[in-house]
Structure 1
């Protein structure tokens, strides 16, 4: 095939710097005629450390496929999904992306779940010159390599962490008979996403006038948090911000309760996940969490997809599902805008994307990340074991419960 003109002019010649070989692979059916099938390939973490989130991600693609096919397909082509379990392994994700492109010869690629797996698999889309749209990557390093065929419906992680400090500075603390919080402890898991997220929170807290009195990075598989809990207790922060994944955050929450670590404002990034609720029970109340999507957001087709998720009866609408659904909506729009299933035509349409998806406005930076998704960052709190949306104000469903009682007394409203 002929050499492709870069979708991002300033990147001409940059691929040699990252040692990405341009090999064969004009994917796609070529024309715009319908009556056939379009195969979208991806791997998802259906086992391994990120399996809980990977399963939700996988479900999001299925929901998108079902919705599209029930409404006539894309350019009258039925959507089919070809998928594998990458076992939460970056090496496996790259191997499977190669298999999907070279052996299965799918028309288009979705990115796998998680930044490490995307960092690895995204090289394949560049080599094979097949577009890859991910709904689950945000590591800034992914977008620094001159990839011309890669897009993420998420923003870079270093854009995150702004809403929670903003929310805290907006609270009328006097009405809760509380002093305004000024000090923060931040703990983060040692992984690409959580480490960068923790750094983003530190920067945002400091930019909002908070004093970060404790910072610590811990191994993702850490089982005993006693040293970290003791250090946080000694630092005596007004706010605790934990950036981890569901399993390690559940362990931390359980051990914080056992150690009677009481902090005025307790935030855990993934406290919305079932594993944490199952671990803490009614004591999950008063805990704050962050979200980069909420089922109550009034964005394009959110109601439709939430209804379809609920009908499955095997899952509830969580963030990774909406991420995958948004990636599908981006492809759906790009193929229709291109009027073609030719890979290069679709890739150009992807680069020009500016639509509303389940994640709100979706428009790509010239390096591939979503310019707007970080703006939708929500702050939520468990109240009566239900999630109350506190921020942004446009979508708020209630007011915060404050002050936070000590462990053992969090089973009722203030």
Structure 2
């Protein structure tokens, strides 16, 4: 039996060589991945992060493996659940490097967990090409941790795009100037809320209601009741997946009448439109993609084929793109020399499923999607800091 198995594998390898197909990987390379599988952010990671770990490893292996110098590796993942707990993220990274002896560790999920884990990645000298972190601390981070790269940009440009979108709606007469704004009390929501309040005031908006709520809050009905009582013209939430869904649910229950309704992370999830149906039409959210572009369509089709699920219309493609950058840099360097890999990431431009990515002097990607909107069952990008394919923003209709 063993001899027949060997002969069959040898024949397959010879056939692949003759046909010009990728050679079979000779060694296994363990890839470390740390993100929530439990806790408040598990749902978001299950949509944007974990499926792309699977897809990327599948795609690399389908091409024959990761070629590092003279060796070609088949990739396999070692996955750890950080339970949406920064301390567990840090411990998992340590375990991957010290006990599992992995050479490659993918970045964590979410702004807070990435910021918390940055020092441990730096201690080990690991490239940390973040894909789900939005922060204005890129310049500060790059000085302290030159191994950290930010792909989703900062709070300032994101807020600026949201303000510009609301100003456009106001100038068209679709909304007035009264605004209700809330945030999740996590690094992501706190930073965005801090930028948004003065920015909206400067743009001529009146903040008639504001509040924050703890990460993992189950009942957000008091928040929406108070927001409705303030009679806003537009509602904005710097929210994470559980609260994005809960706030929308409560807005429908309360029949919140606004010309613009904006929620943040998870608005771009296919499950959002699946849950709210026609009520999702016109809802605005953070992110977006060039939904009609060939690159995203091809990626989305492959994502669904391999993982059995549709990608979201924002972070999913960026997560995959960050893995592409790491892959290309390792192969270009031809070794696992992390200092050389980091330098290659910093010095080069990369073609990815989201489009070209080039980091500036502060290790920050300057071109990213900022605002999207559900239109005809697709979450389409309506604003960005330099991406092609934006569509015109529409007024939010009544809840259906």
CA distance in 2, matches of 1:308, 1:325: 12
- 1:8 equivalent in structure 2: none
- 2:208 equivalent in structure 1: 213
CA distance in 2, matches of 1:361, 1:161: 23
- Given the superposition, is the C-alpha separation of residues 296 and 179 from structure 1 closer, same or farther in structure 2, using an over 3 Å criterion? closer
- 1:97 equivalent in structure 2: 93
Deviates more, 1:198-207 or 1:77-86: 198-207
- 1:195 equivalent in structure 2: 190
| Contact 1:381/1:387 (<8 A) preserved | yes
**Correspondence for 1:224 among 195, 219, 228:** 219
| Contact 2:228/2:254 (<8 A) preserved | no
| Contact 1:194/1:243 (<8 A) preserved | yes
CA distance in 2, matches of 1:336, 1:349: 10
1:261-297 deviation digits (Å, cap 9, x = unpaired): 2222112223333554455443333322222545445
TM-score by length of 2: 0.80
- 1:22 equivalent in structure 2: none
| Contact 1:322/1:359 (<8 A) preserved | yes
**Correspondence for 1:59 among 51, 54, 68:** 51
Matched, 1:354 2:312: no
- Given the superposition, is the C-alpha separation of residues 81 and 369 from structure 1 closer, same or farther in structure 2, using an over 3 Å criterion? farther
- 2:37 equivalent in structure 1: 46
| Contact 1:53/1:320 (<8 A) preserved | no
Report the alpha carbon displacement of residue 253 of structure 1 after superposing the two structures with TM: 2.0
Listed as ranges, the matches of 1:123-202 within 5 Å are 123-141=119-137, 144-145=140-141, 146-171=144-169, 178=173, 181-202=176-197
Listed as ranges, the matches of 1:223-262 within 5 Å are 223-262=218-257
TM-score by length of 1: 0.78
CA distance in 2, matches of 1:238, 1:64: 43
- Given the superposition, is the C-alpha separation of residues 131 and 390 from structure 1 closer, same or farther in structure 2, using an over 3 Å criterion? closer
- Given the superposition, is the C-alpha separation of residues 40 and 366 from structure 1 closer, same or farther in structure 2, using an over 3 Å criterion? farther
SS of the aligned residue for 2:80 comes to strand
- Given the superposition, is the C-alpha separation of residues 205 and 287 from structure 1 closer, same or farther in structure 2, using an over 3 Å criterion? same
SS of the aligned residue for 1:162 comes to helix
- 2:336 equivalent in structure 1: 341
Report the alpha carbon displacement of residue 125 of structure 1 after superposing the two structures with TM: 1.9
SS of the aligned residue for 2:285 comes to strand
Report the alpha carbon displacement of residue 391 of structure 1 after superposing the two structures with TM: 4.3
CA RMSD after TM alignment: 2.9
| Contact 2:161/2:383 (<8 A) preserved | yes
Unmatched segments (≥5 aa) in structure 1: 1-33
| Contact 2:52/2:319 (<8 A) preserved | yes
- Given the superposition, is the C-alpha separation of residues 313 and 119 from structure 1 closer, same or farther in structure 2, using an over 3 Å criterion? closer
Report the alpha carbon displacement of residue 380 of structure 1 after superposing the two structures with TM: 0.9
| Contact 1:43/1:96 (<8 A) preserved | yes
CA distance in 1, matches of 2:327, 2:287: 25
How many residues end up aligned between the 2 structures? 365
Listed as ranges, the matches of 1:355-394 within 5 Å are 355-373=350-368, 376-383=369-376, 385-391=377-383, 394=388
1:232-257 deviation digits (Å, cap 9, x = unpaired): 23432211111111211222222222
CA distance in 1, matches of 2:233, 2:366: 32
CA distance in 2, matches of 1:165, 1:105: 46
**Correspondence for 2:66 among 74, 84, 104:** 74
| Contact 2:193/2:238 (<8 A) preserved | yes
| Contact 1:287/1:381 (<8 A) preserved | yes
CA distance in 2, matches of 1:399, 1:189: 25
CA distance in 2, matches of 1:46, 1:295: 28
Deviates more, 1:143-152 or 1:46-55: 143-152
CA distance in 1, matches of 2:258, 2:120: 46
| Contact 1:48/1:87 (<8 A) preserved | yes
**Correspondence for 2:269 among 262, 270, 273:** 273
- 1:122 equivalent in structure 2: 118
Report the alpha carbon displacement of residue 386 of structure 1 after superposing the two structures with TM: 4.4
Unmatched segments (≥5 aa) in structure 2: 1-24
- Given the superposition, is the C-alpha separation of residues 256 and 399 from structure 1 closer, same or farther in structure 2, using an over 3 Å criterion? closer
